[in-house]
């Protein structure tokens, strides 16, 4: 049996009956905390959970990686740079991606890096634009320290900055060429070009012309 922390918060997206089953100690591999409660909540409630911590108007800067196993050297890098987090708004998150994510083939959906075990998200939030370079420096330094241990060149697209356009192909892995062909068919003029843009595939565009 695996013991969980004394306090934790989780989001379980499923039918109510499944959630109640998960909460019963005899039906799960986890030992639940002494006080555990589950309640139904709307998507809006979930998305607004961090509104108090991250109010509107903050500046932000992100870096992301996919990762495999996290070895001792990677942990040491995280400890070094995580201990320098500049304020309460900024953070580093590690999201597990294995399990059901790897049950789907890399060529079956837009999400291609299904052999990754983790998504690492390093983000700085700050209220005063005068501090921009200091916060960007912390994020970049953290990313530069842990990226060599990732085993991947891509990262999770939602955690990318506009300056990471060069990493888009790696973000989608083997799905990229297929997505570029779809883009050429449905948006050959690249109207939807912001954020981490998948450009229309040249071969498909030429054939359509």
Q: How far apart are CA 116 and CA 102, in angstroms?
A: 8
CB 145 within 8 A of CB 177: no
Report DSSP state, residue 91: E
Q: Is the per-residue pLDDT at 19 higher than 80? A: no
Instruction: Give pLDDT tens digits for 72-117.
Output: 999 999 999 999 999 999 999 998 887 788 888 878 888 878 888 8
> 59-171 is classed in which CATH architecture?
3-Layer(aba) Sandwich (3.40)
| pTM for this predicted structure | 0.77
pLDDT band at 38 (very low <50, low <70, confident <90, very high): low
Instruction: Give pLDDT tens digits for 169-203.
Output: 888 888 889 999 999 999 999 999 887 889 998 64
Instruction: Give pLDDT tens digits for 20-31.
Output: 565 555 545 555
Q: Which residues pair with 59 in a beta bridge?
A: 126
Q: Which residues pair with 125 in a beta bridge?
A: 60
| Token pair of 3 as six digits | 């013991």
Burial class of residue 135, CB neighbours in 10 A (0-12, 13-18, 19+): buried
Burial class of residue 200, CB neighbours in 10 A (0-12, 13-18, 19+): buried
Instruction: Give pLDDT tens digits for 136-161.
Output: 999 999 999 999 998 888 888 888 88
Q: List, by residue range, all CATH 3.40.462.20 domains of the chain.
A: 59-171
Q: How far apart are CA 106 and CA 140, in angstroms?
A: 29
């Amino acid at each position: 049996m695996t013991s969980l922390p004394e306090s934790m918060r989780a989001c379980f997206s499923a039918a109510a009956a499944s959630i109640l089953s998960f909460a019963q100690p005899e039906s799960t591999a986890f030992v639940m905390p002494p006080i555990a409660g589950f309640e139904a909540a709307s998507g809006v409630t979930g998305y607004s959970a961090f509104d108090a911590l991250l109010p509107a108007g903050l500046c932000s800067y992100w870096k992301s990686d996919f990762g495999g196993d996290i070895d001792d050297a990677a942990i040491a890098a995280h400890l070094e740079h995580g201990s320098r987090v500049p304020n309460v708004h900024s953070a580093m998150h590690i999201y597990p991606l294995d399990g059901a994510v790897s049950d789907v083939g890399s060529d079956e959906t837009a999400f291609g890096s299904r052999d990754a075990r983790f998504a690492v998200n390093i983000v700085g939030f700050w209220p005063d634009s005068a501090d921009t370079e200091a916060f960007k420096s912390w994020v970049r330094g953290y990313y530069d320290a842990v990226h060599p241990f990732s085993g991947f060149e891509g990262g999770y697209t939602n955690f990318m900055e506009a300056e990471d356009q060069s990493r888009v192909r790696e973000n989608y892995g083997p799905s990229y060429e297929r997505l570029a062909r779809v883009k050429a068919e449905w948006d050959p003029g690249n109207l939807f070009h912001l954020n981490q843009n998948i450009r229309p595939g040249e071969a498909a565009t030429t054939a359509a012309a």
